[in-house]
Chain A
Amino acid sequence: MSTALKVESNREKLRINGLHAFYGESHILHGIDMTVNQGELVTLLGRNGSGRSTTLRAIMNMVGKRTGSIVINGRETLNMASHKIAHLGIGFCPEERGIFSSLNVEENLMLPPKVRSEGMSVEEIYDMFPNLAERRKSQGTKLSGGEQQMLAMARILRTGANILLLDEITEGLAPVIVQKLAEVLTKLKERGLTTILVEQNFHFAAPIADRHYLMEHGHMVAEIEAHELKEKTELLNTYLGV
């Protein structure tokens, strides 16, 4: 009974209520609401500038100012410093990938401290991304775009993070690498990781996601379940122009 209760209360990993975010004078997010449950893969869809990346950065407290509420694993994080939020089990993969040029591949991989105990081992990671093993002594930014993306992903998997915030991970990558990333995300989902994916490539996101949030001008305009995609194609076309 008590375990059942625990599972029940653990289901909700992230809840955002009435979130406003600002960069200096610019008001970017206008009171968004969203919920993500344990093991879900949720996407944020929308045009460039609709506030999807800002949503991820606001969760990490990397924007100028935030108001509203962001509850992670049952803890209100609005007044928490960025590094404390990470230690709630969040792994952030920024749009620009954030590979450090003064560090080699291995140093980049080992850089983020462990935030939870059950992270992937370095062997598992090199097994999943063999290219990184081959180039472990190369300067981080000397890797190809695809390899850098693998490294940016691998880096947060080693930390044991179980909520992943992934910003445009397929941007500018070859189809074969996008395919590889889809496989990786599916594997992570099987392991029970929770993922919020900001994605431009709808064909990449559609088959692997459970739900989609549609954003426009800093507002959440729709929430679409995976099985509703067919009937809501028109709505998607309106907002995404795909």
Chain B
Amino acid sequence: MATFFDINLFALFGQLLIGLINGSFYALLALGLAIIFGLLKIINFSQGALYMLGAFAAWIALNYLGISYWWALILVPLAVGAFGIVIERTLIRPIANEDHLYSLLLTFGIALILQGLFTHWYGSSGLSYAMPEALKGGTRLPFMYLPNYRAWIIVFSLLVCACTWFMIEKTRLGAYLRAGTENAQLMQAFGINVPLLVTLTYGFGVGLAGLAGVLAAPIYTVSPDMGSNILIVVFAIVVIGGMGSIGGAIITGLAMGIVEGLTKYFYPEASNTVIFLVMVLVLLIKPAGLFGKEA
């Protein structure tokens, strides 16, 4: 067995890989939350349920409709995004001017309803999604075995995060989003259709959750509570990165995945709590988050 200063490199790299994969999902989900929080100023509690919806949609598409993984990767985020747009227009918009507590409760309620519906239809034990043929197998690296699908998750989600970051930070549409985050009312007085921007932003943010759901389906159990399990961690990540910070959400998501992986290797007992410990420390030292702007 390859050891180096008493470190089992196989196990360490194995945990690092798991950490990176979890981090990829954290990053995608935190990114969606951050975008939505930035412009709508609401904490979207249904983000986890929409991630679950994405996974179930991929499963249903494959098993009932024969839609392949690759098509699901495109169609499911669009469908989840469209579902989000309907929610925004019919439920969130009417209470947009009320206290943000209402929208928080509303999105939490939506999450519970979705979770309840899928438990009712498919039970709570979970389903498995067949791995796409092209991504089966793996590569043997010096210190680890890298399954192709896991490599794909990391590369693809990083690519999606990078494109989203570029779109927000470097394009004109992104400038609208950033400016709208600061002062939506003035943006509208400049002639920008802010209500439409809000709808599209919400649709895009939850579309990212749907995409994460499709990516997760082949390696995680597709079950109704998969979203609520991950959401709490993702909230901690958004807090650590700084509410509404786009780059912060991505970097913190990946970093916390890795921190979690390392903790699993060095001190497994703390692996479920380490992210919350980091959150407490960050809140004590830098309350606006690592990448957030001080209010």
Contact = CB atoms under 8 A, between A and B. Distances in A.
Interface in B173-213: 175-176, 178-179, 181-183, 185-195
A163 B185 CA distance: 19
Interface string A7-32: 00000000000000000000000000
A100 B179 CA distance: 6
Contacts, number: 60
A27 B115 CA distance: 46
A88 to B, nearest CB: 9
B191 A111 contact: no
A203 to B, nearest CB: 29
Interface in B29-71: none
Nearest to A106: B175
B195 A81 contact: yes
Given A62-B185, A98-B183, A112 B191 contact: yes
A102 B192 contact: no
A103 B185 contact: no
Contact of B190 (A81, A107, A113): A113
A100 B182 contact: yes
A82 B182 contact: no
Contacts of B187: 111
B189 A82 contact: yes
Interface string B250-273: 000000000000000000000000
A107 B175 CA distance: 7
Interface residues of A, number: 23
Chain A binding surface, main DSSP class: loop
B35 to A, nearest CB: 14
A83 interface: yes
Given A62-B185, A81-B195, A112 B190 contact: yes
A83 B179 contact: no
A113 B195 CA distance: 16
A83 B181 contact: no
Chain B binding surface, main DSSP class: helix
A114 B195 CA distance: 19
B136 interface: no
Nearest to B196: A83
Interface residues of B, number: 19
B172 interface: yes
Contacts of A102: 178-179, 181-182
A83 B188 contact: yes
Contact of A86 (B181, B189, B195): B189
A155 to B, nearest CB: 8
Interface string B136-175: 0000000000000000000000000000000000001001
B292 to A, nearest CB: 12
A81 B178 CA distance: 21
B289 to A, nearest CB: 15
A30 to B, nearest CB: 23
B193 A100 contact: no
Nearest to B178: A102
Contacts of A115: 191
A196 B194 CA distance: 25
Interface string A101-121: 111000100111101000000
A98 B187 CA distance: 9
A162 B183 CA distance: 23
A111 B179 contact: yes
A110 B172 CA distance: 8
A213 interface: no
A92 to B, nearest CB: 5
B178 A92 contact: no
Contact of B192 (A83, A94, A103): A83
Contacts of A112: 190-192
Contacts of A150: none
B287 to A, nearest CB: 19
A87 interface: yes
B190 A111 contact: yes
Contacts of A111: 175-176, 179, 187, 190
11 contacts: A82-B185, A82-B194, A83-B189, A83-B194, A86-B190, A94-B186, A102-B179, A102-B182, A111-B187, A112-B191, A115-B191
Interface of B: 172, 175-176, 178-179, 181-183, 185-195
Given A86-B190, A92-B189, 20 more contacts: A62-B189, A81-B195, A82-B185, A82-B188, A82-B189, A83-B188, A83-B189, A83-B190, A83-B191, A85-B189, A86-B188, A86-B191, A94-B186, A98-B183, A102-B181, A111-B179, A111-B190, A112-B191, A113-B190, A113-B192
